[in-house]
Structure 1
Amino acid sequence: HTVTSGIVSALGRSGISPDGYEDFIQTDAAINPGNSGGALINLRGELIGINSAIFSNSGGNIGIGFAIPVNIAKSIMAQLIEHGKVQRGLLGVSISDFSADTAKAYGVDAHEGALVQEVTPGSAAEKAGVQVGDVIVAVDGEAVRSASSLRATIGVKRSGDKVKLDLLRDGKRRSVTAQLDEREAASQVAAVDIHPGLEGADFANYSGENAGPGGAAVQVVSVEPDSPAAARGLRQNDIIIAVNRLRVRSVAELQAAASQQSLLILSIRRGSRDLLLQIR
């Protein structure tokens, strides 16, 4: 048995998980291959997180590790025991961070929250009266720090749960209650079912920070070495924003856009860079 020690470097880390439900604890305590699933405890021996991932180019520890907060882990465990799967709530909005610059433009004294960019017709948000331009600042009294923290908070709720949303609208604070819908499980398909030039890659729905306008895109979850996809420049964790200038928000939309085309021009987000790839 091995015990490592360190400090908590940051809370609310995101941009790590492909599904967008992220509120990771960052620590410099060594998390080595095989340690995922282990306990992250405080000095009192209390469980605060479940070790989940590391940032490393070599595969070994370099002092940047991430753990799932215990409150999220407990919710997931309870759902797995009760239902055998995780049932994530769905609010039905596309969101972005509410920055200090945006707050200044809005003329409000706030620097945290999630700005609503789009409301899905017929969604829980629309039924509750949420509007484009609203800033969601709290859920059930818990402050919303960013778009990713809102996704994480809603993601541990279940379909059918009622949540109180505190909003800023026209400089005034108001509250609405939304009854969450159920989010469908993320699709993942092999590229051979989409286009021959993408053979060797697997894709999944993506709703993380790099999804761009609309808050949804497609992530490349794996690429086999020496495959057609690898030869054409596709890389693991690439985010596909559009195909032949047509926006794609899911694997199903990617499949529909690409299956009848001989030449694909993929709009890709790779880290902080945007690029185009031609796939034949």
Structure 2
Amino acid sequence: MALVLSQLTPAAAQDRPVSFAELAERVSPAVVNITTTTMVADRMGPQGMVPEGSPFEDFFRDFDNGPGQPRRSSALGSGFVISADGYVVTNNHVIEDADEILIEFFSGDEMPAEVIGTDPNTDIALLKVDAENLDFVNFGDSDGMGSRVGDWVIAMGNPLGQGFSVSAGIVSARNRELSGTYDDYIQTDAAINRGNSGGPLFNMEGEVIGVNTAILSPNGGSIGIGFSMASNVVKNVVDQLQEYGETRRGWLGVRIQNVGDDMVEAIEGLDMARGALVTEVPDGPAKDGGLLAGDVILSFDGMDVPDTRELVRMVGNAPVGKTVDVIVLRAGDEVGLAVTLGRRETMEPVAFPDTVEPDPAEPQEVLGLMLSEVTPELAERFQLAQDSGLVVLDVMPESDASIKGIMPGDLITEAGQQKVTSIAEFEERVQEARDGGRKSILLLIRRQGQPQFMALLVNE
């Protein structure tokens, strides 16, 4: 063992860079400091300057413009030049609501910038300065060599207003998700602080593989957990902002959820938890293409779908108007469909109507659930978003339904991937599952209007 270690140590030492100086010198001219100025209402009257009732209160009032008067507020950030003619990438939160944006180059020159476009979903903004022959850097492949966990990276920017600064570290983790739909963050231990936002994360080839965006910290300073939006996401956004001044993401037009391990046995033909389970299909591209609620999307545009997060990213990165092949699992068979994608920004806000015919009936207990067909009184009592299906009035203690978290007020609209509008239909679906040798049945439940599938044991 000692011999092996002695042989590995020199090789490991050779992989460690002796210095980052040449790399830093090469890319620094393309990194910029960004100063923004915003007019904000000044809520500080005399009471904010001296204690209320102080003998100096009248004195300060004489020299005060009064509460609510506007004042200038400045903020600092970072960015980087991506073209010789002056396109600059930064974070949206760096320049959001700014009245003036000033770019400071490594040489000390300063120039005003205009906003070409922004994308709050990925926190990316594209700026433009009126210049030519600028030094610039290129995007690298954030999924390729140089972006692996353990690879060396350097972060550059304007931390805490200290001017051009370089920090080094490694890629600590990949595919981190913070809060956004399209999140794909690279985690790094290279020091990132306030002011670094919008600056580049470089691989050892001098390519931008991430845009420094956020840190995890209990005190506001770097503790070695920083996040950079992956360049493959950023480049797609920047291309759209440069061409259209806005994003134009593909839109499939379905509501989806992940397939849980407890659902696999209840979905005919599924061998493991994978794909995206369709919970609702409103009017739109998916409906026009033949998708149905209860379908499991296994493949999109030739790519396997591991989960809902990846499907959302695939669809969002696909061109608007493209016709893509979608493979779904339906009733145990794989079905190929062709869907022409819409545009998410314009179609999604009006995509999910909530109107269906009512169908009242008497309550009854099935599978540990006290169920009733919807009545106007129950619809009002539970504030149901639609009036067709079975409303849960009560859940029997220690039942599988209770363990799975089903609650009074939940609305069951499908059982066994078929619509149910009556208790009799629900019992038929349950019996079909038993007769088919299944241990559980898949229910589509709406809670406060939001759809979700749950698998419930049928032999309790």
TM bin, normalised by shorter chain, reads 0.5 to 0.7
Q: Map 1:192-271 onto structure 2 (within 5 A).
A: 246=383
1:45, distance to aligned residue in structure 2 (A) = 4.1
Matches within 5 A, 1:138-177: 138-177=299-338
Contact 1:22 1:148 in 2 (8 A): no
Q: 2:286 aligns with which of 125, 140, 151?
A: 125
- Partner deviation per Cα, 1:88-131 (whole Å, 9 max, x = no partner): 222111111123322233252132221111111x2111111111
Counterparts of 1:179 and 1:186 in 2: how far apart (Å)?
13
In structure 2, what is the equivalent of residue 16 of structure 1? 179
Q: Which residue of structure 2 aligns with residue 7 of structure 1? A: 171
In structure 1, what is the Cα distance between the partners aligned to 2:223 and 2:382? 39
1:69 matched to 2:230? The reply is yes
Matches of 2:281 and 2:307, distance apart in 1? 17
Which of residues 58, 66, 90 in structure 1 aligns to 2:219? Answer: 58
SS for the counterpart of 1:184 is: helix
Contact 1:23 1:149 in 2 (8 A): no
Counterparts of 1:37 and 1:185 in 2: how far apart (Å)?
28
Preserved contact between residue 328 and residue 335 of structure 2 (Cα < 8 Å): yes
CA deviation digits over 1:127-185, x for unaligned, max 9?
Answer: 11111111222322233232122222212233212222232223333332211112236
**Which SS does the other structure have where 1:2 is aligned?**
strand
Amino acid at match of 1:10: R
State the one-letter code of the partner of 2:233: I
- AA aligned to 1:6 is I
Larger RCO (CA within 8 A; separation ≥ 6): 1
- Report the secondary structure of 1:136's partner residue: strand
Select which of 267, 270, 275 maps to 1:113: 275
How far, CA to CA, are the matches of 2:338 and 2:301 in structure 1? 9
| 1:180 maps onto 2:344 in alignment | no
Tell me if the contact between 1:125 and 1:178 (Cα under 8 Å) persists in the aligned partners: yes
> Within 2, Cα distance between the matches of 1:141 and 1:186?
24
Q: Distance in 1 between matches of 2:243 and 2:325?
A: 25
CA distance in structure 1 between the aligned counterparts of 2:300 and 2:228, rounded to whole angstroms: 23
Give distance in 2, aligned partners of 1:88 and 1:165.
17
Q: 1:46 to 1:132 in 2, by over 3 A?
A: same
| Contact 1:22 1:151 survives alignment (8 Å) | no
Q: 2:213 is paired with a residue of what secondary structure?
A: strand
The corresponding residue for 2:257 is 96
**Structure 1 residue 81 displacement after superposition:** 0.9
Structure number, greater radius of gyration:
2
Q: Amino acid of the residue matched to residue 34 of structure 1?
A: G
Superposed displacement of residue 2, structure 1: 0.8
User: What is the Cα-based RMSD across aligned positions, in Å?
Assistant: 3.0
Aligned residue pairs total: 191
Contact 2:189–2:226 at 8 Å: present in 1 too? yes
- TM-score norm. by structure 2 comes to 0.37
> What displacement does 1:43 show?
4.3
